[in-house]
Amino acid sequence: MTTDDLLAYLFEGKAQFLAAHVGDWMASSKRFRAFLEEYRDKIRKKLRGMRDEEGFRDLEAELATAYLLLRERRFTLTYEQYGGSRQRGADFSVLFKGNLPFNVEVKRLRSIGPSRPPELTRYLDALCDKVGQFSPAMINLLLIAVDPAAFNRSDLAAAMLNLRVRIERKDNVFFVHRGFRDARDFLRYERRLGAVLLYAFDPEWRLSDVFLWPNPFAEHPLPRELNTIFRHWNQPAFP
């Protein structure tokens, strides 16, 4: 397929703003182009199911993340490997240097209207929604994409501290309201979380800011090399 043919197949004339960015990423990365060709049917199906711009923006964050992951040549990427199972799984399965697997889940915090919940609440809800998707025997990384104006590492740190306090106080009502049996049940899933990466894109979908929060209670923490890669993720070339 030519670039134009692949874009036409994926987008069918919809979401031209997203098609333009995807075209730029393809032009600058052969690995990303190969990723799109391999998963074109899955991506096309997702695009057909989109009903509003926020949905397209969510997928844009997902595809931008794939593009960024593929800049690191020591990463081999699989898209929605767990899609056939009944339980929700991570967006990306990554193999580092051919022998270290880890999962990556992407969550974009939407910016919808002036009545949106406080940042702390949005982070708490995002974390509670996503921890259940992680495999228990793997390194798991949660990536939270935000608008540049909303990027604040203190908000994420405050959310993680808030969760820890609620666990220690056994605030079962809070966790039951978010789909867990109790605080202890949430803790079982939270320990699967190796780290949270907060990141922001500028208006042209270039990565502008990153902040990595390693989970000190993780059963499978990120090894030093992965910590270094993601702490410097917004640099032109990875270490």
**Pick from 36-40, 145-149, 184-188, 203-207: least confident:** 203-207
| Mean pLDDT, range 66-90, rounded to an integer | 84
Q: How far apart are CA 195 and CA 108, in angstroms?
A: 16
Beta strands of the chain (E only): which ranges?
Answer: 75-79, 92-96, 100-108, 139-146, 195-201, 207-214
Q: How far apart are CA 63 and CA 94, in angstroms?
A: 15
| Mean pLDDT, range 118-135, rounded to an integer | 90
Does residue 4 have a pLDDT over 60? Answer: yes
Average pLDDT for the chain: 90
In terms of C-beta distances under 8 Å and separation of at least 24 residues, what long-range contacts does 43-47 make, across chains too? 43/10, 44/9, 44/10, 44/12, 47/10, 47/11, 47/12, 47/14, 47/15
Judge whether 29 and 3 are in contact, CB under 8 Å.
no
Q: How far apart are CA 178 and CA 170, in angstroms?
A: 14
pLDDT at residue 112, rounded to an integer? 59
| Mean pLDDT, range 226-238, rounded to an integer | 83
Q: How far apart are CA 202 and CA 145, in angstroms?
A: 11
**Pick from 9-18, 76-85, 92-101: least confident:** 76-85
Q: How far apart are CA 202 and CA 147, in angstroms?
A: 8
Judge whether 217 and 193 are in contact, CB under 8 Å.
no
Handedness of CA 6, 9, 10, 11 (dihedral sign): positive
pLDDT at residue 209, rounded to an integer? 92
Q: How far apart are CA 142 and CA 47, in angstroms?
A: 23
pLDDT at residue 150, rounded to an integer? 85
| Mean pLDDT, range 104-111, rounded to an integer | 90
Does residue 35 have a pLDDT over 90? Answer: yes
